[in-house]
Homo-oligomer: A and B are copies of this chain.
Amino acid sequence: MDNKASWREHPVWLRFLNKPMAERLTSPLEAARSEAEFFSDSESGGCGQKPFFSFVLDESLGESYILKEGSERQIVIRGGKTGILYGTYEAIFDLILKKSLPEGVQTPKYSLRMLDSWDNPEGTVERGYSGRSLWFEGGSFSYDPDRICQLGRMLASVGINVLCINNVNADASARPLIGDLLPEVAKFADILRPFGVRLMLSVDFSSPMFLSEKKSLTGMDVQNYAFCRAADPLTTADPLDEDVRCWWKERAAVIYQAVPDLAGFLVKADSEHRPGPATYGRNHAEGANMLAEALAPFGGILVWRAFVYNCRQDWRDTKTDRPCAAYDLYHPLDGKFAENVILQVKNGPYDFQVREPVSPVLTGMGSTKMAVELQLAQEYTGHQIDLYSMPPVWREIFRDLKNEKITAIAGVSNLGRDANWTGHPFASLNLFAFGKYAWDPYRDPEQVIREWILLNGYREEEGVMELLLQSSSVYEKYTSPLGLCWMVNPGEHYGPSPWGYEFQAWGTYNRADRNCVGIDRTAAGTGFTKQYPPEIAERYEDSAACPDEYLLFFHRLPYTFRMRDGRTLIQRIYDDHFEGYEETLRMQKLLSGIHLPESDRAEAEERMRKQVMNAREWCDVINTFFYRLSGIPDEKGRKIYD
């Protein structure tokens, strides 16, 4: 168990949140009053005269709110059940930031704003870089209730309204969450409820074959439920099988008895060896709709992940192109999903690579509700060792996502039991910004970063801003410029291995040789561009017009290819890597000159030391890789190892 003093010193943002909640709250309105009182009492704002808040609950407003400023720092917050809490945080933020209050009704762009935790009941976090799970250990729940309460406040303060508490790779260890552990799930939900945060559970599609009713109901009051079948596990998970459908309906009833406001289920099916409907010759709409039907009576939603591809591809097969996989699978199913199904689609067609175009599933499914899935956990973006701030990247992504059918947003959590919650003290920016973008995806990145800096109370705003604003483009330069993907160490996904994935079964190739690099994904190549609407396709189709940062994602080009700025492709590769490394050195110098709280400084500087080593390794390995292949020296005569 973590030391309270230790984590209390590290609020993700907003130092006033250090003050623990005095009492057990029962509603967002109570939470709002409590936060307003804390804030008024604190010096955090440094605003001189204490503000005075008054609250008008208007259930019809739901998650929305309206802020009005009266005379003498009086603020009236009118809002719906959770809107009133969101409005309170907005008011507090604006006071601290010395911004004027927003005009009119404030409503979130996406109704489902979910943080997906890849936490396993045994306490590990898949792709977690901030320590062990905040709530799991040893196969069950284990947490500090005060810290979970703090978590609820942090999530609510940026408008996140759903927390999926377990890994999408829901294996045997996750099954008790919809069985024996339901009373524990219910207790956990109770802590987060006053902050407007509902739980979601990742479920194993094959659960009916492993979870027997009798065994799983221990400790539950189930006398009100009549069961239509025996207590033994089923021999199938076929979504069209009547027993299976009945099993899930009963299961949902039991689950909702324990957690009446559960948001629903999240399912990773037929993906990377997870079970799914394909086993039974059923399509993904049939699989999803079966679960959605079970959830519908309780208002639950079924979130179905679209991260499906052939993970046993033969590298010799150049016809199969992994980025095409999800669209090929889901586009024919557009319009076939039930009302309460949301298809959750990663932002890019691959897997959270440093640079990917937006997934064509997101732009091509006009009759399907969708969630866009972002990854706050820095799996491919530096493991929360290297600085990588996401808002500038997200701006690019949301530019292409005007689709009305995107009703939800999910972010893979970067939280863990580290005292400072996110490993790198600056990594919490991405969680903060995720909430902000979930509310309004067209925000200016610089403004969001600045708000986080100021709310954190960092005194040297401009230095931290400079570091954060450039961090993602610097990282891209020293790792994977021009849309090159997958040159990471396999499995670990930190550090360079230009051909570590080249001959593997994951569909992850750069196909570099002594003359060329990249894959032709145009209409003349694998045809991937044809999955986009014309206005997007035409941006990428022609190598002469394709934006540099996507060039090698869409095109196979010789090293001597002339870029628009006159440089050759190989020279641009060398330049970017050298520059990325040099910029990292400059970032290190910049960081060392910034005054930060002592604990943040030590952590940030130690991580920056590792980032510099990592940047050097990437720069040298990738340059050597292409030099060994091409034999073309750097025009500027910098050292490339042979």
Mark A residues whose CB is within 8 Å of B.
315-316, 490-491, 496-500, 503, 511-515, 617, 620-621, 624-625, 627-631, 641-642
Contact of A503 among B316, B497, B514, B515 (CB under 8 A): B497
Which residues in B have their C-beta under 8 angstroms from that of A628? 512-514, 629
Chain B residues within 8 Å of A499, by CB: 497-500, 625
What residues of B have a CB within 8 angstroms of the CB of A503 in the complex?
496-498, 617, 621, 624
By beta carbon, the residue of chain B nearest A513 is: B628
Does the CB pair A641–B497 fall under 8 Å? no
Q: Knowing that A498-B499, A499-B500 are A-B contacts, what are 7 other residue pairs whose CB atoms are under 8 Å apart, sorted by A's residue number?
A: A315-B621, A316-B641, A497-B500, A497-B503, A499-B625, A512-B628, A513-B631
When distances are taken between beta carbons in the complex, the residues of chain B under 8 Å from A620 are 316
Q: How far is the CB of A172 from chain B (nearest CB, A)?
A: 20
- Using Cβ atoms and an 8 Å threshold, which residues of chain B touch A627? 513
A620 CB to nearest chain B CB (Å) = 6
Complex Cα spacing A497 to B620, Å: 20
The complex places the Cα of A351 from the Cα of B223 at a distance, in Å, of: 65
Q: Which 4 A-B pairs have the closest CB atoms?
A: A513-B628, A503-B621, A499-B499, A316-B641
A494: min CB distance to chain B, Å: 13
Determine the residue in chain B with the shortest Cβ distance to A622: B503
> Which residues of chain B come closer than 8 Å to A497, judged between CB atoms?
499-500, 503
> Once the chains bind, are B500 and A631 in contact (CB under 8 Å)?
no
- Chain B residues lying within 8 Å of A500, measured Cβ to Cβ, are 490, 497, 499-500
Closest partner residue, chain B, to A630 (CB atom):
B514
Q: Which residues of B contact A514 (CB under 8 A)?
A: 514, 628-631
Residues of B within 8 A of A642 (CB): 511, 513
Chain B residues closer than 8 Å to A496, beta-carbon distance = 503
Smallest CB separation, A276 vs chain B (Å): 26
How far apart are the CA atoms of A316 and B627 in the complex, in Å?
A: 14
Max chain B CB contacts within 10 Å: which of A491, A500, A627? A500
A631 and chain B: residue at smallest CB distance: B514
CA distance A511 to B627 in the complex (A): 12
Bound-complex Cα distance A315 to B498 (A): 14
The distance in angstroms between the C-alpha atoms of A515 and B514, with both chains bound, is 10
State the CA gap A620–B316 with chains docked (Å): 9
Complex Cα gap A176–B631 (Å): 56
Residue of B nearest to A500 (CB): B500
User: Would you give the shortest CB distance from A514 to chain B, in whole angstroms?
Assistant: 5
For A512, what are the chain B residues with a Cβ–Cβ distance below 8 Å?
628
What are 20 A-B contacts with C-beta separation under 8 Å?
A315-B641, A316-B620, A490-B490, A491-B491, A497-B499, A498-B499, A498-B503, A503-B621, A503-B624, A511-B642, A512-B628, A513-B627, A513-B628, A513-B642, A514-B514, A514-B628, A514-B630, A514-B631, A515-B631, A629-B629
The distance from the CB of A577 to the nearest CB of chain B, in whole angstroms, is 14
Bound Cα distance from A511 to B630, whole angstroms? 14
Whole-angstrom distance from the CB of A607 to the nearest CB of chain B? 20
Query: Which chain B residues border A631 with CB–CB below 8 Å?
Result: 513-515
How far is it, in angstroms, between the C-alpha of A511 and the C-alpha of B625 when the chains are bound?
A: 10
In the complex, chain B residues whose CB is within 8 Å of the CB of A625: 499
Tell me the complex Cα distance, A279–B623, Å: 36
Q: Which residues of B contact A641 (CB under 8 A)?
A: 315-316
Chain B nearest CB from A638 CB (Å) reads: 14
Between A316, A515, A617, the greatest number of chain B beta carbons within 10 A of the residue's beta carbon is seen for: A316
Contacts of A515 in B (CB 8 A): 631
Q: Considering the chains assembled together, what is the distance between the CA atoms of A629 and B625 in angstroms?
A: 11
CB nearest neighbor in B for A617 = B503
Which residues does chain B contribute within 8 Å of A617, judged by CB atoms?
503
With both beta carbons as reference points, the residue of chain B lying nearest to A642 in the complex is identified as B513
Q: How far is the CA of A580 from the CA of B506 in the complex (A)?
A: 26
Q: How far, in whole Å, are A515 and B642 apart by their CA atoms in the complex?
A: 12
In the complex, chain B residues whose CB is within 8 Å of the CB of A624: 503
Closest chain B residue, CB of each to CB of A627: B513
> Once bound together, how far apart are the Cα atoms of A576 and B227, in whole Å?
65
A58 to chain B, nearest CB (A): 59
Q: Which residue of B lies closest to A629 (CB)?
A: B514
Which of A503, A621, A630 is most buried by chain B, counting CB atoms within 10 A of its CB?
A503
A629 to B515, CA, bound (A): 9
- List chain B residues, Cβ under 8 A from A629: 513-514, 628-629
On chain B, the residues within 8 Å of A630 by CB distance are 514
For A499, the closest partner residue in chain B by CB is B499
Give the Cβ gap from A430 to chain B, nearest Cβ, in Å: 29
Complex: A513 Cα to B630 Cα, angstroms? 9
Shortest CB distance A559–B (Å): 11
Which residues of the other chain, B, contact A498 by a CB distance below 8 angstroms? 499, 503
Least CB distance from A265 to B in Å reads 35
Among A625, A627, A628, chain B packs the most CB atoms within 10 A around the CB of A628
Report A479 CB to chain B, min CB distance, Å.
14
